[in-house]
Structure 1
Amino acid sequence: MTGEVSIARLTDSVADFIREQGLEGVSTVGQSMGGRIVLELARRGVGGDTVALDPGGFWNRRELFVFGATLRPSIALVRALRGRLPALLGSSVGRTLLLAQLSARPWALSEETVLPDVRGLADSPATGAALNALTKGPKQQGAPAGTVPGRVTIGWGRRDLVTVPRQAARAAELFPDAVLHWFGRCGHFPQWDAPAEATQLILDSTD
């Protein structure tokens, strides 16, 4: 994709890929921004079953301000520490200091689990543009009952500090066909904090 980054254009790109590859009716799964994109696909009638984990786009004005004001410095810090990430993430203390905003139990994670994702945030040239798309673009629109192409499941971490748990009620209201699943001791990354539960939810919620 070239040009301005926006949720609408990112979703267009995924929808085009699904169509070009002959994957109509494919199940879609996403987390955070990816969760928002797969919900937007479902709203448009693209794909089949949908699983969105801790999706963005359901905040109020204050929550959106806090999201941008806290996540931007965190990303800047990760970029500044790029060369030291393996050492920092190799210790429980380093993981706790760096990942407390993203995980409910960062000290319990392994370096192998978190390093690829954190490096991706540090290295991607589009991280800033993607954050702008989330914070400066419109909120996620909903889909009236009976209009989505398959089952919709929304998973949310009860200790999510990025897309805070009270946003789940707004998501459920905007997507009345959705089933809401709560991850107990889990932050913004269910695939980190509850990998077996997240995997089982995806398998049980898609064809």
Structure 2
Amino acid sequence: MKLLEQRILEDGVMEGEDVLKVDSFLNHQMDVGLFAEMGKEWARLFADDHVTKILTIEASGIGIACVVAQQFGVPVLFAKKNKTKNIAGEVYSAQVESFTHGRVYDIIVSKKFLGPGDRVLLIDDFLANGAALQGLIKLVRDSGATLVGAGIAVEKAFQPGGDLIRSMGVRVESLARIKAMSSKGITFCD
């Protein structure tokens, strides 16, 4: 998606050769107009998949997922990183190692919101090593729901996550796939 790629080039900030900060428009301050265009693209890509639910992980994916859900006319469910008092009853859970935070989380989703009748589209802001998506995939599979695929805003194609998730048989549609980040700048996959 050229619009997202252009925004990354204009406003993204590289920190080394593996960290890309897009907090001015994607995952801290949010450009909802850009999210709407992203949502339209995923709605086009997954139009025939009869999505009934959008699933993401807190916190950065929630804003994007909400806008995408509007395109599909379905609810958003987000996996929480900590069990809270307002999640009562049984939950699906998975462990996720966060690349960004350098720690392991137990993510949870209430069983009352995810089940065999659901057709789930995963949405997230980044795909690097694939740990967050693996956790979300486990939640969907444990619930008996159908996983239709994953919509990713920015995939670092030079890291192993995309290949790993695709090798699991999951359809991944990334709107910006970064081939390399170096002192020369960012290059995108063709």
Larger of the two Rg values belongs to structure: 1
Structure with higher helix content: 1
Q: Which TM bucket (shorter chain)?
A: under 0.3
Tell me the TM-score normalized by structure 2: 0.27
**Which structure features the higher share of strand residues?**
2
